[in-house]
Amino acid sequence: MKKLLLILLGVAGVAGGVERPNVVLILADDMGYADAGFNGGREIRTPHLDGLARGGAILKSFYVQPVCSPTRAALMTGRWATRTGVYTVVRPHAPWGLKLEEQVMAQMLGSAGYETAVCGKWHLGEFEAGYRPTQRGFDHQYGPWFGAIDYYTHRRGEVVDWHRDDKPSADEGYATELLGKEACRVIREKRSDKPLFLYLPFNAVHAPHQVPEGYVAGYPELKGVRRTYAGMLTAMDEAIGKVVAALEEKGMMDETLVIFASDNGGPSPGRVTSNGELRAGKGTVYEGGIRSCSFVHWRGRIRGGQTIREPLHAADWYPTLAKLTGAPLEQKLPLDGKDIWPVLTEGAKSPHEVLMVCGTRRGEAAVRMGDWKLVVGAGGKAKEGKEGKEGKEGKVGVEELYNLADDPGEKRDLAGERGEKVRELRARYEAMMEKAVPSGEVAGGLKE
């Protein structure tokens, strides 16, 4: 009887008393934590992002992985890197990707009757057809499979990486503008009999740093790559503004959950991006590498003007969306993400007693429990691209302890003073690593 009731709820289009929303999931690439106005930025104008964020809930402690592919894997599956084996970047043509046994978000939402589309960077494997988006639950695909493509030629090296429905596309134009335009087309041509899941993972603002001159004209005070980056962020913000306008024109905005995050912290902080007071940046397990600039917006459902500081993780969106959409949560692979809807709407505490983020190499991780954070194996790596006191690669086994309530910038290592807390968090880390799967990169035959 319970199973029948769940099926009927799904058919009726409700879950937990909430009408099933359209879902627009926007992912920026390599965006600094403090570069948007809503998160403290003052140098770069992001009016469309700011309007959405302030009309919803700003997530101040939203965690992701240190680099691109691992975050996308966690987001799409609701599972941590220790389960998926995606600890590092999936390189172009590499003989591996997110395992085919993993059920991704598009498959889950498709089973609940959603129309599904991805407009943007996939980055979870493409060496065989089965790893590509249209074979993984997306009705429609547009954009690049890889990362770091040229924004104008759409090339990565000698290969043109631009596709429509996983077939080569010769569309010309600036990548950010093309992705925004396609997202608007998907919205305007949405089927009337199905809700929409639109995944919009921009390749902006990742290198190479390229942007039409018109976007940088308003930043004469900025210099060099920082100025170009500002223009790239402005271009992405404008594209998002057009997506919102398309939702409004279609009469969908009140029925749409908009989620925004960056896939990792900003690289080269202080030169290219700004992570504010957070330490370090992309590629590290310090806060500047794994705390994402993020918000969630649903007019009339999520109270505007909120700032939520509870620790949450990208993997949480999978079970949360399953609940909201009436999709079947049961699957053969266990989930690590938790339903965060009560946190967003009822002021509840984080459902996570402990969160762990794995680094890109063996023995490097961060464990957060309450306000306490244990860093394992980073070895004092100060910021991406620079050598710390233990060397660029850090020192495996070195433990650092920080209290993020008192020290969000991770300036004071308390490991020597709070040995009992180190041991407590270390035990949690070891328990979580006990059944960790090996890197998919190794399984694919590449050197770890």
For residue 321, give the DSSP letter.
H
- CA-to-CA distance for 213 and 58, rounded, in angstroms? 31
Is 2 among the domain residues?
Answer: no
Which pLDDT does position 443 carry in this prediction? 55
Please check whether residue 62 is in contact with residue 312, taking contact to mean a CB–CB distance below 8 angstroms: yes
Question: What total number of domains does the chain contain?
Answer: 2
Which residue type occupies 2? K
What pLDDT score does 242 carry? 98
Indicate the residue among 326, 346, 366 that finishes a domain.
346
pLDDT given at position 331: 80
**pLDDT for the residue numbered 4:** 37
Closest by CA position to 199, among listed 263, 282, 248? 263
Residues 326 and 385 in one domain: no
- Residues 362 and 280 placed together within one structural domain of the fold: no
pLDDT of residue 381: 53
Both tokens of residue 43? 């140098």
The answer to whether residues 387 and 294 belong to one domain is no
The two structure tokens encoding residue 190: 């949405």
Is 293 one of the catalytic residues? no
214 plus 73 within the same structural domain: yes
The two beta strands, 140-143 and 115-119, are parallel
360 and 325 within one domain: no
Q: Report yes or no on whether pTM surpasses 0.75.
A: yes
CATH code, domain carrying 379: 3.30.1120.10
The verdict on whether 206 is a catalytic residue reads no
In a domain, 448, yes or no: no
Residues constituting the chain? 448
**Out of 48, 119, 123, 293, which one is annotated catalytic?**
123
Same domain assignment for residues 333 and 373 = no
Helix (H, G, I), strand (E, B) or coil at 307: strand
Cβ contact 204:232 at 8 Å: yes
Does one domain contain both 310 and 424?
no
Long-range contacts of 3-9 (CB under 8 A, 24+ apart): 6/326, 6/328, 9/326
Domain assignment present for 45:
yes
**Domain of 151: which CATH number?**
3.40.720.10
In a domain, 132, yes or no: yes
User: Of the candidates 314, 346, 378, which is a domain's last residue?
Assistant: 346
- Say if residues 291 and 62 touch (Cβ distance below 8 Å): yes
Task: Using DSSP bridges, classify how beta strands 22-28 and 256-262 pair: parallel, antiparallel or unpaired.
Answer: parallel
Give the integer Cα–Cα distance in Å for 275 and 215. Answer: 22
Within a domain: residue 289? yes
The pLDDT score that the predictor gives to residue 283 is: 97
Q: What is the pLDDT along the chain (448 residues), one digit of tens a residue?
A: 333 333 333 333 444 445 799 999 999 999 999 999 999 999 999 999 999 999 999 999 999 999 999 999 999 999 999 999 999 999 999 999 999 999 999 999 999 999 999 999 999 999 999 999 999 999 999 999 999 999 999 999 999 999 999 999 999 999 999 999 999 999 999 999 999 999 999 999 999 999 999 999 999 999 999 999 999 999 999 999 999 999 999 999 999 999 999 999 999 999 999 999 999 999 999 999 999 999 999 999 999 999 999 999 999 999 999 999 999 877 889 999 999 999 999 999 999 999 999 999 889 999 999 999 999 998 755 434 333 333 344 455 689 999 999 999 999 999 999 999 999 999 999 999 998 999 988 654 333 3
Q: Do 239 and 326 fall into the same domain? A: yes
Catalytic residue among 68, 184, 293, 358: 68
Tokens, residue 88: 């590092």
Domain containing 264 equals 19-346
| Token pair of 26 as six digits | 């926007």
Q: Which of 312, 346, 380 is the last residue of a domain?
A: 346
Residue (of 186, 184, 210) closest to 196 by Cα position? 186
Structure tokens at 188: 């305007």
